Structure 1
């Protein structure tokens, strides 16, 4: 499992999921082939330069934290994965960001399911929070989401900046 990249004073925590057991062995965040995370982070204006996955720790310089909902046990086929909601919320409370942005609807809905909240249908701010922290839903950066054009994904990621500005 990757170590959290969190610190007090981060403006936003970007949260994904580790649902597949093999993904827990990654060396850097969002380093998979075809993953557009680093391109979206830069093109949206969230960071001023294009970072390489090997530079993932640098996100803290820009007020961004990275963490994942972590799967706690294997599920039976057809069952949704179970995640450690308590540990996730504890990390969010400790970091005290202005917002938590889920890096896909899948990640947001994984949290919503384990918290007993309404599932999201759209991108942007859902009707719920994470441990009292405003939430935001981004389109996924993975190659599996290539059906959505990169310019549209970039625009929706840029909406996170506007959302953060409304929070102060």
Structure 2
């Protein structure tokens, strides 16, 4: 991907990978430029989403971003709090996050996943006005859908190692399977 191709991807949308009644709907912060340029979620090399999904037992093998549609067969999907692509999450305003939270709530009410897993506790805090939220299951629900805040799999999130992240995602997997 050239720098010009990445710049051209700014503000593009990446289609959701969703269906009714998923076990877990993963929700990113917003698409990065690599994701927008390729049309695949968590596409940036160094993003640990796909390795963590496999290491935590959600998928039997590590999928590539281009294989994202296979998630539906595992009862999994992907969306974002904010739909538009940007180079960095700090380019998204608090109001955009709050509006994204309202849109996401309506989406979850329509799709009724068992669990909404927001990958980025700061994004969850801002989008839902939950200033004290921590990683893990949340008290808030959207209808019957439980909410879980997960660590952001970005390679920039160095405070979470892949094994530690896989452990937290594994806790979510076990809870989602338990019903």
TM category, shorter = 0.7 to 0.9
The reply on whether 1:51 has 2:68 as its aligned counterpart is: no
Gaps of at least 5 residues in structure 2 are 1-12, 85-90
- 8 Å CA contact 1:69, 1:85 repeated in 2: yes
Q: CA RMSD in A?
A: 2.6
Distance (Å, rounded) in 2 between the aligned partners of 1:124 and 1:142 = 18
Where 1:82 maps in the other structure, the secondary structure is: helix
Out of 89, 101, 113, the position equivalent to 1:85 is 101
The reply on whether 1:7 has 2:19 as its aligned counterpart is: yes
Deviations 1:71-98 (Å, cap 9, x if unpaired)?
68xxxx8963523333212211221111
Q: Which residue of 2 aligns with 1:111?
A: 127
- 8 Å CA contact 1:34, 1:142 repeated in 2: yes
Cα 1:79–1:15, aligned 2, differ >3 Å: closer, same or farther?
closer
Out of 48, 58, 63, the position equivalent to 1:36 is 48
Distance (Å, rounded) in 2 between the aligned partners of 1:89 and 1:5 = 16
Q: Which residue of 1 aligns with 2:8?
A: none
Cα 1:19–1:29, aligned 2, differ >3 Å: closer, same or farther?
closer
Cα 1:40–1:80, aligned 2, differ >3 Å: closer, same or farther?
same
How far did residue 108 of structure 1 move?
Answer: 1.6
Aligned length: 160
Where 1:6 maps in the other structure, the secondary structure is: coil
Query: Structure 1 segments of 4 or more deviating over 4 A?
Result: none
Q: TM-score, normalized by length of structure 1?
A: 0.83
- 8 Å CA contact 2:34, 2:43 repeated in 1: no
Q: TM-score, normalized by length of structure 2?
A: 0.78
Deviations 1:16-51 (Å, cap 9, x if unpaired)?
12287x477342000112100000000000111110
Q: Which residue of 2 aligns with 1:25?
A: 36
Q: Which residue of 1 aligns with 2:76?
A: 64
Distance (Å, rounded) in 2 between the aligned partners of 1:66 and 1:48 = 18
